Chains A and B, each alone.
Chain A
Amino acid sequence: MIDTSGMITVAEAAKRLDLSIEQVRRKLREGKLRGQRIGNQWLVDETACQKLAEKPRPLIPRELLARFDRIRETIANENPGVEFDAVAMVRRHRDEA
């Protein structure tokens, strides 16, 4: 009989780690998260999951930073050669407010 004590489901791990189920499965496949495969189903080691949850993660989601990149790229493409001086823009705004 397989001992599944101290193991949690992928769905539960995803919830605790604030990740998608696919992201958890990927971590398991890549060995970045300890778990056990039983048939076609993965179970996640609860202690390993807890350790990963406590590890600091990027505060700003990568998707959000990528969206900022796309905005910057769009503005650059629409204003070739223009370099915006954001510090001066904000400074002028404050001085004229």
Chain B
Amino acid sequence: MSRYVIDTNVFIRRVVPPIIESVDAFFEQITTADELFAPQMLLPEYTSVLREQVSLKQIRDEVARQALQDILEMPIRTIVALGQFPRSFDLATQFQHQKAYDMQFVAVAEAESATIVTGDGGMRHAAEAIGVPVRFLR
């Protein structure tokens, strides 16, 4: 059994071109023995990135809405534990990040003893530096 915290970019990569084999394989390989987590910011962030693509006329409104509807069916447990906020603040300070958004994913992975799944090199670096396992999807 594995526990994963999934970064928003992994979900976005699953619905926009190009096909990234490692991302598709990840979603196909996880089983009912595994658990998926994310900080609560996943859904507002996913929604907002799709909305931005609609405003840039890269994705049609109805297609973005379908992508939004579909992610709501994903079996992800969103974590609302208050401890993630001060911890993400500490981590952002430690890694000299101006913002603490990334670090919420790292803080949740740390608290849940989970592996972070991301395509973002910066998040990978921060997670590895504090001993949080990373599955980096190139």
Contact = CB atoms under 8 A, between A and B. Distances in A.
Contacts of B55: none
A76 B17 contact: yes
B58 A93 contact: no
Contact of A64 (B13, B17, B73, B99): B73
B72 to A, nearest CB: 10
B32 A71 contact: no
B12 A89 contact: yes
A38 interface: no
Q: How large is the interface on B (under 10, 10 to 19, 20 to 34, 35 or more residues)?
A: 35 or more
Interface string A21-63: 0000000000000000000000000000000000011111100
Nearest to B74: A60
A86 B67 CA distance: 14
Contacts of B60: 74, 78
B32 A86 contact: no
A60 B58 CA distance: 27
Interface residues of A, number: 29
A59 B15 contact: no
A89 B51 CA distance: 12
B84 to A, nearest CB: 16
Dominant SS among interface residues on chain A: helix
B27 A82 contact: no
B94 interface: no
A74 B63 contact: yes
Given A84-B53, A94-B45, 4 more contacts: A68-B70, A72-B14, A74-B60, A90-B8
7 contacts: A56-B31, A56-B34, A61-B73, A64-B70, A84-B17, A86-B13, A91-B122
Interface of B: 7-9, 12-19, 24, 27-28, 30-34, 36, 45, 48-49, 52-53, 58-60, 63, 66-67, 70, 73-75, 98-99, 101-102, 119-120, 122
Closest 3 CB pairs of A and B: A56-B31, A86-B12, A76-B17
